[in-house]
Amino acid sequence: MRLADAPQTSRGVGELLREVAEDGAHLARQEVHLARLEFAQIARDIGKGTGLTIAAAMLGLLTVQMLVFGVALLLGDALFRGNYWIAAFVLTVILGAVAFFLLKRGTALLSPSHIKPEQTLATLRRHKDA
């Protein structure tokens, strides 16, 4: 079989490079499309998770309120001989003190001096000096 009789399946280098570039661009478009789909799913999951967390927090708050109400009734009967308002007042003072303590602790943890990444800053200073 002679070379002239062989089927013309060989393509030029330019044509092969063009096909490789087109295939690469097509692959990149597919990857971007897949990333968009994945990020959309992640965003939906974050939205659902946030909604469920808020619902759980609201139900938890109602649960705590009912517990405090029950304790006030119990204290009113057991300790204050039917004077429920005294029990409610005592619980309000106690819970207010706990809330104040938690607020002070939380604000201290969120202060700018506490948020600074001290170890990272120290490492950067050492590397800067070296």
pLDDT in tens, 72-102: 999 999 999 999 999 999 999 999 999 999 9
List the domain boundaries for the chain. Answer: 13-129
pLDDT in tens, 28-71: 899 889 989 998 999 999 999 999 999 999 999 999 999 999 99
CA dist 84 and 97 (Å) reads 20
pLDDT of 114 strictly over 70: yes
Sign of the CA dihedral 63, 65, 68, 73? negative
pLDDT in tens, 1-29: 454 554 556 778 889 999 999 999 998 89
12: left (phi over 0), alpha (psi -120 to 50) or beta: beta
pLDDT at 124: 79
DSSP letters of 5-22? TS------HHHHHHHHHH
How deeply is 86 buried, as exposed, middle or buried, from its count of CB atoms within 10 A (0-12, 13-18, 19+)?
middle
The first and second tokens of residue 92, run together, are 């309000």
pLDDT at 23: 92
CA dist 45 and 47 (Å) reads 5
